[in-house]
Structure 1
Amino acid sequence: MPRILSLDIIRGIAVMGIFFANVIGMAMIDAAYFHPPTYGFFSALDHIAWAVNYVLVDARFRALFSILFGASLLLITDRAEARDQPAWRAHFPRMAVLLLFGLVHYYWLWWGDILANYALIGMAAFFLRRLPVPAMLMGAVLALLVQHGPLMAGHAQQLPRYEAMRAPDATPADRATYDAMIARASESAASIAADKAAHENPLTHAREMTLPENRWQPFKSVTDYGFETLGLMLLGMAAFRSGLLTGSWPRHHYAVLGLVVTLPSLAIFAFGTFTIHASGYDRMAFYWWDYVWLPMLQPICAMGYIGLILWLFHGHEASATGLRIAAVGRMAFTNYLGATLIGTLLFSGFAGGLYGQLSRGQTWLIAFPVCALMLAWSQPWLARFRYGPLEWVWRSLAQGRWEANRRPPAPSAKPG
């Protein structure tokens, strides 16, 4: 079955986009990922980097990644059944190997791993693959509401109480309670120093931070945000079955989806960015936007991005630009883990030693050459090999045999 270039192009853009968010989490203390003033937030470049990520990147490209994972689930199982092979035999070994990769990624490289969660939720999503498209869409909406609805409602009820606790006319007891809550959410100089020391190398971080505090997080992620992942996978499955992700819709339909969905979404994100900036990056402003207004907007905006991408590339998937981006997407697994490896080498004390040394803006700029590297090496590699390096290992382990990867040399033309 030939490659679906539209899928590869979206996946390529997603894996590059997600690194603009991930690199911040790799380079500085965890709290700064969620509240910029906590660390490394000094210059205009730092503010610009945060604003661009907040408006265009944060959670959107992870949502794209999750949507495409659902589509890939169907693609793999459909191909297996077309070869008269049981779908479960193609799917579950892949998920088991992906889980192993995810655990290694989480425990040894970076706390922000998503692969283990994909593997665990992907095992459950397998049993929903035969649902009709309307049922998939309903299931996606329901799963996202189950994930975000109670949290959004709970925060909407609690936040006015917190606002009252810090108001000028608040009682001393309320003010003390609020100050204590903020202190618990803040990072002390001692905790920042301990965090930096733990990042001297990945082994130290795993021993001193990850294992004592978050040993079971890859599995706990199923209850923490598993319904969100499942909802996005179902959305991807529905988009694949409907032909949206395969590029088979008329081009003007993609334009409508992209413009009608994306522009209002980005306007809301821009308004949130302005509101947070105008508040002086107040924690309560972040809470309102991060936990009440935006969670359900992220997947909607991600679908708008899909519409925009496929509108721009419709009929031009095989162009020079399309093929280069598609190559990044075909090697998304290698590029995703490779970007983490680059981050580990740059920021860990045993190599680059840059952890906690750069501001947010300086860190953000690192994403540009890393994405350029993805674009530069993926296509030449695939001209010589069938799969990316880690895709080949993943595929071989899942099948229980080492597959040939190197492409045979092109036959030379005979003289005369």
Structure 2
Amino acid sequence: MTGQLIAARERVHDVDALRGFALLGIFIVNITFMASGYPGNLVADPAFSSTFDDIVRGLSSVLVDMKFYLLFSFLFGYSFTLQMQAAARAGAAFAPRMLRRIAGLFVLGVLHILFLYGGDVLTTYALVCLVLFWMRGVRDRTALRVAAVVYGVVVLSMLASGLFLDTAAFLPPETEALANAERATQALLGGWGDVIGEHVAGLTLLVVQAVSMQGPTALAMFLLGMVAGRRRLLSQVRGDETILRRIQLIGFPVGLAGGLLYAIGGGNGNTLTVTASVATAPLLAAAYVATLLRVMHGPRTAFVRAALAPAGRIALTNYLGQSALGLLIFTGIGLGTAGTFSPAALIGLALLIFALQLAASAWWLRRHQYGPAEWLLRWITNARRPAWRKRELR
């Protein structure tokens, strides 16, 4: 019995640590959009156009862009099975609990878009989770086939667009894009009305991205995560499995090659290079997972799991907290520093904030069972107020 309890704790810690790692990657991407209007308009800020700035942006494109969103989506699907198990242990009907949870996530996402950050993913996750909820009873083989088909359709449609459509015709000229970027940056430096207006103005692009790429790719990863959760693939990891090394040997070369094509070819401004990144990003994300699992189960590096797990355990709180800090640091509501950070400085700031979140998460969980956002979402899910502090559970 003791061995089973230890294994259960390790399973939770592994999933939470991977989620914390994904949270860092997502923040490194998101902070660039929080800090300036230029990335959202697919142009580089002329104030940061040195070779070093280009190298930093290129490294982010190769190593970070699109990879961690997929990992976070996979873990969302994995956690979906944990929600099913939790409902079964409580003797409660899963359907009403999950539907309330989805509704709560959607409302949080809407509020997040309006008041904190326009590049929200929670609303997309909530809507796509309805499909996952509907498919929760399908066999593993069916789920894997649907995931492959959905992801394949996204890649093929993007490839066809890049080959047969003049995507440049749908984009504004560079001079117009630069002017739009400057206007967006100035809006960030305004008050609540300007910031909310900028967030609302980006809703059309957010919906297009969600429908054309983010939503379908999230669904594919949700389904893969659900199958992995059913089979408890992350519950018995030792770190020395041959499959982990094989994933690294395949995932790193192919994933890095795709990321390099994406970076060299112009990033989001070139549909073909985006296609290369989307097609290979799952392999690089899988290689990251394999590497982190090996590190976390190493006798000398197990501390990595202990450091990351608390942040991943309250990932929703930390995700919203990152947006709140971005609002306070960059917009006119707070310090008004939008447009003043170089690419390297932004990555440094993201690492600093995440390090603080690691410490704050560990401190918070010594006294509380859930993060504030998780506590609220759990209340909505179970339709019953959960304990706030750990002493309330005694």
TM-score, with structure 2 as normaliser: 0.87
Question: Counterpart of 1:380?
Answer: 363
Identify the residue that residue 259 of structure 1 maps to in structure 2. 248
In the alignment, which residue of structure 1 is the partner of 2:125? 118
Which 5+ residue runs of structure 1 have no aligned equivalent?
163-177, 412-416
C-alpha RMSD of the superposition: 3.0
Q: Aligned match of 1:59 in 57, 61, 66? A: 66
Tell whether 2:337 aligns with 1:354.
yes
Q: Are residues 282 and 230 of structure 1, via their aligned partners in 2, closer, same or farther at CA, if it must alter by over 3 Å?
A: closer
User: Which residue of the other structure, out of 159, 164, 189, is the alignment partner of 1:152?
Assistant: 159
Instruction: Determine which structure has more spread, i.e. the larger CA radius of gyration.
Output: 1
Aligned-pair distance for 1:401? 3.0
SS at match of 2:232: coil
Match of 1:343 in 2: 326
CA contact (8 A) 2:53 2:342 kept: yes
Preserved CA contact (<8 Å) 1:254 1:311: no
- The equivalent residue for 2:232 is 243
The Cα offsets for residues 333-361 of structure 1, whole Å up to 9 and x where unpaired, read as 11111011111100011211011222323
How does 1:385-396 map onto structure 2 within 5 Å? 385-396=368-379
Counterpart CA distance in 2 for 1:24 and 1:255 is 32
Find the residue that maps to 2:214 and give its secondary structure.
Answer: helix
Q: Structure 1 residues 320 and 362, CA, compared in 2 at 3 Å: closer, same or farther?
A: closer
Read off the aligned partner of 2:235 and give its amino acid letter.
T
* Residue in structure 2 matched with residue 168 of structure 1 by the alignment: none
Q: Which residue of 1 aligns with 2:311?
A: 328
CA distance in 1 between partners of 2:177 and 2:14 (Å): 47
SS for the counterpart of 1:366 is: helix
Which whole-Å CA distance do the structure 1 matches of 2:39 and 2:206 have between them? Answer: 20
Q: What is the distance in 2 between the residues matched to 1:135 and 1:410?
A: 41
What secondary structure, in the 3-state scheme, does the structure 2 residue paired with 1:251 have?
coil
Quick one: distance in 2 between partners of 1:41 and 1:207?
Answer: 26
Q: Which residue number corresponds to residue 32 of structure 2?
A: 24
Counting only pairs closer than 5 Å after superposition, residues 2-13 of structure 1 correspond to structure 2 as 2-3=8-9, 4-13=12-21
Percent identity, please: 27
Count of equivalent residues: 386
Q: Deviations over 1:38-69 (max 9, x none)?
A: 55432344223212211211010111111100
Q: 1:148-198: CA deviations, max 9, x gaps? A: 321222212336xx8xxxxxxxxxxxxxxx7x7664465456434422332
113-122 vs 188-197, which moves further: 188-197
Do 1:137 and 1:235's aligned partners in 2 also have CA atoms closer than 8 Å? Answer: yes
Q: What one-letter code is carried by the residue in structure 2 that aligns with 1:120? A: L
Provide the rounded CA distance (Å) in 2 between the counterparts of 1:200 and 1:263: 40
The structural deviation recorded for 1:6 is: 1.1
1:166 maps to what in 2? none
2:272 maps to which residue? 288
Shift of 1:235: 1.3
Cα 1:394–1:219 shift into 2, 3 Å: farther
Q: Do 2:150 and 2:217's aligned partners in 1 also have CA atoms closer than 8 Å?
A: yes
Aligned twin of 2:221 = 232
TM-score (norm 1): 0.83
Counterpart for residue 381 of structure 2: 398
Residues 186 and 260 of structure 1, relative CA distance in 2, 3 Å threshold: farther
| 1:89/1:106 CA distance change after superposition, 3 Å | same
Structure 2 residues without counterparts, runs of 5 or longer: none
Indicate the SS of the match to 1:37. coil
C-alpha contact 1:125 1:234 (8 A) present in aligned 2: yes
Q: Does the 8 Å CA contact 2:124/2:210 hold for their aligned counterparts?
A: yes
Q: Which residue is equivalent to 1:92?
A: 99
Pick closer, same or farther for the CA change 1:410–1:142 going to 2, 3 Å.
Answer: closer
Question: Where do residues 291-306 of structure 1 align in structure 2 (5 Å cutoff)?
Answer: 292-306=275-289
- Cα deviations by residue, 1:191-215 (Å, 9 ceiling, x for unpaired): 3442233213463235533335636
How far residue 111 of structure 1 moved from its aligned partner, in angstroms, is 1.4
One-letter amino acid of the counterpart of residue 57, structure 1: V
Matched to 1:288, the amino acid is: L
